[in-house]
Structure 1
Amino acid sequence: MAIQIKPILQSVAHGANLSYAIQKFGGARSEWLDLSSAVSPFSWWADNKQKVIFPEAVFHDLPSFNDELNQTIQAYYGIAGLAVAGSQAAIQVLPQCFTRATVWVLAGAYGEHAACWRAEGHTVVELTQDEIEVNFLNGTDFPDVLIVVNPGNPSGELFSSADLQQWAKQLATVGGYLVCDEAFIDATPEQSILADDMPANMIVLRSLGKFFGLAGLRFGVLFASDDIRAALAQRIGPWPLAGASMWLAQQALKDIAWQCAQRQRLQECSGAMREALTSFNLIGSTSLFCTLAVPNVAAAQVLLAEHKIWTRCFRQQGLLRLGLVQPHELERLRLTLDKLNKPV
């Protein structure tokens, strides 16, 4: 029998598909308010592009993880890590590093976690935050791998560092691992569980894209024990990141003054956005997004799209996630959301 192409697995829905929205609902890109990806509207590149000069080598030479990049990662995050092409690259390959396992995943969180572990033949069980907490409190049943997203996406819920540290200890008694996706935590780094004495069974994923407004660089970092980092690096293969991406990420990670200013303006804008949404069913938020519970969430997404506002729809949970809005755009968003509460 001739070899066959493997079947294509069902894809996970994502935000950041503005081209689809334009094709379906019309309008020029400049007319749209894109809130679908929850990437910061304030970009390090936009603030620094006039003074950035790329070295010729980042385009000419094959990329390599040099000592300066590794030192910059350690200085910013406080611990050595493995740079990857966005945290998605690690999410996709990490399940290949383990033998068949039972995996608990925070239900309703970033869908690629469950999908990627299932695709590699692992048994995936999706649990709510309350169910996870009760299971570890009872201490009678543990998975091989626990995956949490902290803060939650789209819920904005937070697990405490104390709980996560305790669960990692409990998992260690059965040879298990805790994976924590911290893609949205850079605005509040004090909530991170990263530490130079991180236990060997803890794996943390970080992303440059959301906080720095640099999602197009595809730069993330995986923090784990040496053997897990080596296993992941071997499976990802050589030259996983473009030289220009690594160099630019390094400049952003070193820019402490910009990071402080970014945290301040994200805090101010997210506070103003939460205040503007008080008359709606706001069920969760972070410094980079607000999430509303909406009765007919698919219809709500369409209504907003008809007014050139593109959002992220979570149909199963009935949630609509809105990326951070700059102050001058808040009134437009609020007035359009008002239409959801009016009969057609």
Structure 2
Amino acid sequence: MLPHGGNLADARRRYGDLDWIDLSAGLSPYAYPVPPLAGDAWQRLPEADPLLTAAASRYYGAPALLPVAGTQAAIRALPRLFAPCRVLVASPTYGEHAHGWQLAGHRVETVSFAGFEGALGRADIAIICNPNNPTGERTRREALLAWADALAARGGVLVVDEAFADVDPAQSVADCSARPGLIVLRSVGKFFGLAGLRLGFVAASPALLARLAAEIGPWTVSGPAQAIGRAALADTGWQQAMRARLTADGERLHALLARHGCATNGSALFAWWPQADPACLHAHFARHGLWLRLFDNAARGLRCGLPPDETAWQRLTHALASYEATP
């Protein structure tokens, strides 16, 4: 399997049982407060909950949605809906996109974000993250919709992964996802700090969602996940306060790293910066009990999520200062 963040077991195996702070996954450190659950949430088979879909439709502005066990489930299932074809992926990005389409027998080409528009003419399916993970590139809503229309005109599809779009959703295209040629992926785990819930949504035309539901099969999202997701997606007061908090924390993180010479990009939830020798700096943070995400491929650099409390902020500050001081 491809490497991912959140792998503290690897950190412990390599560096010992330290007082670890996991900054590797780019998730909000402030989890939505899980409400009490009805007893039958654990006892019944999880029938599809129309109230969950309605809450998600209001939150994302999407006309039609399919709940899935995290967007990763959709990333693996979507390629199986299409006959082998030419797939274009804006890169560097979340590695499971290219990997999933390759596993399903498609011919995958990766191209830079700058070269993505120029390469669309040779693709049947095109995939882009907005904002991008891990580098933070952003693509204008108008451009995404124009590309989707161009692909749809020849029977193609644009897949837009908006897993990190919740803090600043202005450029989201989920509201247009019922049109031909557009599929939008949304994640509950990132913004709501509930990665263990394994809940996400696919927004697309009803016909495509019906095919995807048949491909994934029944009971894909647990009863507890549906109940918690329904509460989180409907809690507009919590969402508004959390956007403000995460925006402020994101600005603080980027400013801290900039003071120590890291030219960052990213989002409110994470900072990413290129590094000549990212493994060396990654190991330095690890020795301080800070687990960051190492990228030593096309996105050669480090990604750092938000510290969860003031103690973690101070530990990150100290680790940065001690690295600068190392002869």
Q: TM class by shorter-chain length?
A: over 0.9
Decide which of 319, 330, 336 is 2:301's aligned counterpart.
319
**1:147 and 2:131 equivalent?**
no
**1:65 and 2:53 equivalent?**
no
Q: Provide the C-alpha distance between the structure 2 equivalents of 1:217 and 1:326, rounded to a whole number of angstroms.
A: 19
Q: Provide the C-alpha distance between the structure 1 equivalents of 2:184 and 2:176, rounded to a whole number of angstroms.
A: 12
Q: CA deviation at 1:171?
A: 0.9
Q: SS state of the match for residue 82, structure 1?
A: strand
Distance 1:339-1:294 versus aligned 2 partners, 3 A rule:
farther
Task: Return the letter of the residue paired with 2:273.
Answer: L
Question: Which shifted more, 108-117 or 185-194?
Answer: 185-194
Decide which of 307, 310, 323 is 2:291's aligned counterpart.
310
Q: SS state of the match for residue 173, structure 2?
A: coil
Q: Provide the C-alpha distance between the structure 1 equivalents of 2:254 and 2:274, rounded to a whole number of angstroms.
A: 14
Q: Provide the C-alpha distance between the structure 1 equivalents of 2:149 and 2:75, rounded to a whole number of angstroms.
A: 22
Q: Could you report, residue by residue, the CA deviation over 1:285-318 in whole angstroms, capped at 9, with x for unpaired residues?
A: 2010001211111121111101100000110122
User: For the Cα contact (< 8 Å) 2:49–2:226, is it kept in 1?
Assistant: no
Please name the residue that 1:333 is paired with. 316
Please name the residue that 1:275 is paired with. 255
Please name the residue that 1:177 is paired with. 157
**1:224 and 2:212 equivalent?**
no
Q: Could you report, residue by residue, the CA deviation over 1:244-266 in whole angstroms, capped at 9, with x for unpaired residues?
A: 11111111111110000100100
Question: Which shifted more, 270-279 or 158-167?
Answer: 270-279
Task: Return the letter of the residue paired with 2:59.
Answer: Y
TM-score (norm 1): 0.90
User: For the Cα contact (< 8 Å) 1:142–1:171, is it kept in 2?
Assistant: no
Please name the residue that 1:301 is paired with. 282
Please name the residue that 1:129 is paired with. 113
**1:85 and 2:57 equivalent?**
no
Q: CA deviation at 1:134?
A: 3.3
Question: Which shifted more, 235-244 or 71-80?
Answer: 71-80
Decide which of 3, 7, 13 is 1:23's aligned counterpart.
13
Decide which of 164, 189, 195 is 2:169's aligned counterpart.
189
Task: Return the letter of the residue paired with 1:186.
Answer: D
**1:156 and 2:136 equivalent?**
yes
Q: Provide the C-alpha distance between the structure 2 equivalents of 1:67 and 1:331, rounded to a whole number of angstroms.
A: 45
Q: Provide the C-alpha distance between the structure 2 equivalents of 1:78 and 1:263, rounded to a whole number of angstroms.
A: 17
Decide which of 269, 273, 278 is 1:292's aligned counterpart.
273
Please name the residue that 2:2 is paired with. 12
Q: CA deviation at 1:326?
A: 4.2
Give the count of matched residue pairs.
323
Q: Provide the C-alpha distance between the structure 1 equivalents of 2:111 and 2:210, rounded to a whole number of angstroms.
A: 30
Which structure 2 residue ranges, 5 or more long, are not aligned? none
Q: CA deviation at 1:339?
A: 3.5
Q: CA deviation at 1:243?
A: 0.5
Q: SS state of the match for residue 175, structure 2?
A: coil
**1:255 and 2:235 equivalent?**
yes
**1:37 and 2:32 equivalent?**
no
Question: Which shifted more, 157-166 or 324-333?
Answer: 324-333
Q: Provide the C-alpha distance between the structure 2 equivalents of 1:13 and 1:266, rounded to a whole number of angstroms.
A: 26
Task: Return the letter of the residue paired with 1:299.
Answer: C
Q: CA deviation at 1:22?
A: 1.6
Q: Could you report, residue by residue, the CA deviation over 1:159-181 in whole angstroms, capped at 9, with x for unpaired residues?
A: 11011011111112221100000
Q: SS state of the match for residue 210, structure 1?
A: coil
User: For the Cα contact (< 8 Å) 1:269–1:327, is it kept in 2?
Assistant: no
TM-score (norm 2): 0.95
1:51-62 equivalences under 5 Å are 52-62=35-45
User: For the Cα contact (< 8 Å) 1:276–1:330, is it kept in 2?
Assistant: no
Q: CA deviation at 1:342?
A: 4.2
User: For the Cα contact (< 8 Å) 2:177–2:204, is it kept in 1?
Assistant: no
Q: CA deviation at 1:319?
A: 1.0
Task: Return the letter of the residue paired with 1:133.
Answer: E
Decide which of 49, 57, 65 is 1:74's aligned counterpart.
57
User: For the Cα contact (< 8 Å) 2:254–2:264, is it kept in 1?
Assistant: no
Q: CA deviation at 1:330?
A: 2.5
User: For the Cα contact (< 8 Å) 2:178–2:203, is it kept in 1?
Assistant: no
Q: Could you report, residue by residue, the CA deviation over 1:200-247 in whole angstroms, capped at 9, with x for unpaired residues?
A: 210000000000000000000001112211111111111111101111
Task: Return the letter of the residue paired with 1:287.
Answer: A
Structure 1 ranges of 4+ moved more than 6 A: none
Q: SS state of the match for residue 129, structure 1?
A: coil
Percent sequence identity is 37
